Amino acid sequence: MATIDPSRPPASESPLRRAAGEKGLKTGALGLASSVVIGLASTAPAYSIAATLGIIVAGVGLQSPIVMVLAFIPMFLIAYGYKELNEDTPDCGTTFTWGSRTFGPMTGWMGGWAIIVADVIVMANLAQIAGQYGFRLIGAHGLAEDTFWTTFAGVVWIVLMTWICYVGIELSADLQKVLLTIEVVVLIALGLTALWKVYLGNAPDGSVHIGWSWFNPFEIDSIDALTKGVLAAVFIYWGWDTAVSINEETADTKHTPGRAAVISTVLLLLIYVLISTSALSFAGAGETGNGLANPDSSGDVLSSLGSSVFGTEGFGWFMAKLLVFMVLTSSAASTQTTILPTARTTLSMAAHRAVPQNFARVHSRNLVPTWSTVGMGIASVAFYVAITRVSTNVLTDSIGSIGLAIAFYYGITGFACVWFHRRVLTRSRRDLITKGIMPGLGGALLAYFFIDACIVYSDKDYGTTYWTLPFPPHWQLGGVFLTGIGALLLGAVLMLVYRFMQPAFFRGETLPRAVAEREPPRTPDAPVGPVGSVGPTTGSPGAGGTAGS
């Protein structure tokens, strides 16, 4: 296990900051650009569009672009909550740490668990996509449809990405820069080429010019359709918080991660609006032919769209192949960046004794979490293999359930930001807006989406599977709902078990609740308690800390 760097920060520095830098991670390794790249890559823009755009179009038709904008709003608001909380407590545990300091250990533990659940589940789908597209890239379409070989290839991808994360954060960032550059360039080329062909009259039948009604939410048939569309679109923004989970490894721990998160969400909005608008204009929203709502291609709109936009000969063939390669690299890149936040969440949880201490170990040379990184890879492989052996339909529904975990821990973060800073909200207009109104509204929106999703997902006809409860009243519930809620309930059970085994964290001894700051702010030379090594004692985050500093 790594030990504390003997060169400690000055005594005047906040004890929260000092404890955040003492987990053994490599400090100062990443700048703003690298953090933004990791935040963007974590969302897997190409893969997200390929897997989700057709579903959104099938529900809301030509109003899909405004749904992209509406889904961006809660993400942007919550990103500001992350930014404000990180400036006060830059801890790689993010929601776990902030939830514990604000609402208590049980809320924080469940927030951390939701991060782990969402990441492990999505790894299965990312690995499957990487496996399928790898075979499609080389023309082995038969293997791309074979469950065994796609699972095998997916496991190889998980192992490879886990190894890269284990080698070091800088290698991870450098690889992401290359992969993301290819991804964004090809996506922009796809969008601009599609619009160019539409307005020159070279697009196929079904193409249509962009209309202002596409950005009018009142044109959507029903509130239910709007809600389902936004729920699907929220998923494609998820992942930018990875930029904050690597906060202890950035050059400016307090400011760079939050800025990267906000910048990432804005850039994602621009990419998604461009692609959704251009794809709709080129292919239309029909359910036949090239239409984006065609059931035969809605699960992977980019493959068919790429061939139609770029063509099948010469340079166009190359670009179409590059698009397939881009979706492959997008899912592979996201596989890697999904490991990063989970490993750092469990590292922080272990450092505060909320999970077994072995997960707090950091490699002495690579300065990355060891057990946490390898454990994430093993858990992802185990879940992926197990779920594909049951049914690919179960895998599909498990992916849909991720939205519940996302809304759960993002919502906790939004509300934590408001309550954590509650006594400084009247200090200035900026504090009121960025620490109160924005994250609070984001949390409220996600709470609504969580409740509405539970209602929608519980319908046995939603998704591809449903289960009958083995006890009275023998309700038939959708597999998406049961997977999402079941995963969260499993976490609650594990939390209660570990609370019995290791009660120190749950008594608030290793991560005490913060005392909200009062006016005037505490002076920088406030007394600092002793700081321990990786295992937090009296100097763990929250001891003697202030809110809104």
305 to 50, 187, 193, 197, 276: CA distances (angstroms)? 10, 11, 11, 13, 12
- What pLDDT, on the 0 to 100 scale, is given for residue 528? 38
Among 368-372, 462-466, 489-493, the range of highest mean pLDDT:
489-493
Residue type, 232: A
Question: Which segment of 179-183, 403-407, 521-525 scores lowest on mean pLDDT?
Answer: 521-525
| pLDDT of 519 over the 60 cut | no
User: Average pLDDT of 293-304?
Assistant: 74
* 233 or 18, higher pLDDT: 233
- What pLDDT, on the 0 to 100 scale, is given for residue 364? 81
6 contact partners, CB below 8 Å, separation of at least 6: none
- What pLDDT, on the 0 to 100 scale, is given for residue 527? 40
pLDDT band at 515 (very low <50, low <70, confident <90, very high): low
- Report the half-sphere exposure of 359 (CA within 13 A, side-chain side): 20
User: CATH number, domain at 455?
Assistant: 1.20.1740.10
Residue type, 141: H
The full 3-state SS of 201-238, as one line of letters, equals: CCCCCCCCCCCHHHHCHHHCCCHHHHHHHHHHHHHHHC
Element spanning 464, H or E:
none
| pLDDT of 525 over the 70 cut | no
Domain membership flag for residue 524? no
Which residues in 133-158 are b (16+ Cβ under 10 Å) and which e?
Answer: bbbbeeeeeebbebeebbbebbbebb
| pLDDT of 548 over the 90 cut | no
d(CA 456, CA 94): 29
In this prediction, what percent of the chain has a pLDDT beyond 90? 38
User: Average pLDDT of 482-500?
Assistant: 93
Domain count, the chain: 1
- What pLDDT, on the 0 to 100 scale, is given for residue 298? 64
Nearest by Cα to 518 from 408, 406, 427: 427
Domain membership flag for residue 540? no
d(CA 474, CA 491): 24
Look up the domain containing 196 and give its range.
15-507
pLDDT band at 516 (very low <50, low <70, confident <90, very high): low
- What pLDDT, on the 0 to 100 scale, is given for residue 546? 36
Domain membership flag for residue 541? no
pLDDT band at 443 (very low <50, low <70, confident <90, very high): very high
Among 5-19, 118-132, 500-514, the range of highest mean pLDDT:
500-514
**Averaged pLDDT of the chain:** 82
Nearest by Cα to 140 from 152, 126, 125: 152
Question: Which segment of 91-100, 173-182, 521-530 scores lowest on mean pLDDT?
Answer: 521-530
DSSP state of 81: H
pLDDT band at 69 (very low <50, low <70, confident <90, very high): very high
323 contact partners, CB below 8 Å, separation of at least 6: 46, 186, 190, 302, 303, 306, 310
249 to 63, 253, 302: CA distances (angstroms)? 41, 7, 35
3-state SS, residue 303: helix
3-state SS, residue 354: coil
User: Average pLDDT of 339-350?
Assistant: 91
65 contact partners, CB below 8 Å, separation of at least 6: 214, 215, 273, 276, 277, 280
Q: Calculate ∠ Cα 215-216-217, nearest 5°.
A: 110
- What pLDDT, on the 0 to 100 scale, is given for residue 438? 97
Domain membership flag for residue 534? no
415 to 105, 459, 541: CA distances (angstroms)? 15, 29, 19
Contact present, 370 and 166 (Cβ < 8 Å): yes
| pLDDT of 17 over the 70 cut | no
Question: Can you list the positions of beta strands (E) in 83-166?
Answer: none
How many residues in total does the chain contain? 549
pTM above 0.75, yes or no: yes
d(CA 267, CA 400): 24
- What pLDDT, on the 0 to 100 scale, is given for residue 212? 92
pLDDT band at 424 (very low <50, low <70, confident <90, very high): very high
Domain membership flag for residue 489? yes
d(CA 541, CA 549): 14
- What pLDDT, on the 0 to 100 scale, is given for residue 100? 95
| pLDDT of 86 over the 60 cut | yes
d(CA 79, CA 115): 15
User: Average pLDDT of 25-40?
Assistant: 85
| pLDDT of 430 over the 70 cut | yes
d(CA 379, CA 364): 24
- What pLDDT, on the 0 to 100 scale, is given for residue 476? 85
User: Average pLDDT of 451-467?
Assistant: 83
Domain membership flag for residue 301? yes
Domain membership flag for residue 531? no
Residues 404, 407, 413, 416, CA torsion sign: negative
d(CA 538, CA 510): 7
Q: Which two tokens stand for residue 336?
A: 């890697």
- What pLDDT, on the 0 to 100 scale, is given for residue 112? 96
Chain-centroid distance, C-alpha 310: 31
Domain membership flag for residue 161? yes
3-state SS, residue 516: coil
Question: Which segment of 105-114, 245-254, 516-525 scores lowest on mean pLDDT?
Answer: 516-525
| pLDDT of 5 over the 50 cut | no
d(CA 215, CA 69): 9
Question: Which segment of 200-204, 251-255, 503-507, 545-549 scores lowest on mean pLDDT?
Answer: 545-549
Residues 294, 300, 304, 305, CA torsion sign: positive
| pLDDT of 116 over the 90 cut | yes
Among 38-42, 196-200, 332-336, the range of highest mean pLDDT:
196-200
- What pLDDT, on the 0 to 100 scale, is given for residue 277? 95
pLDDT band at 297 (very low <50, low <70, confident <90, very high): low
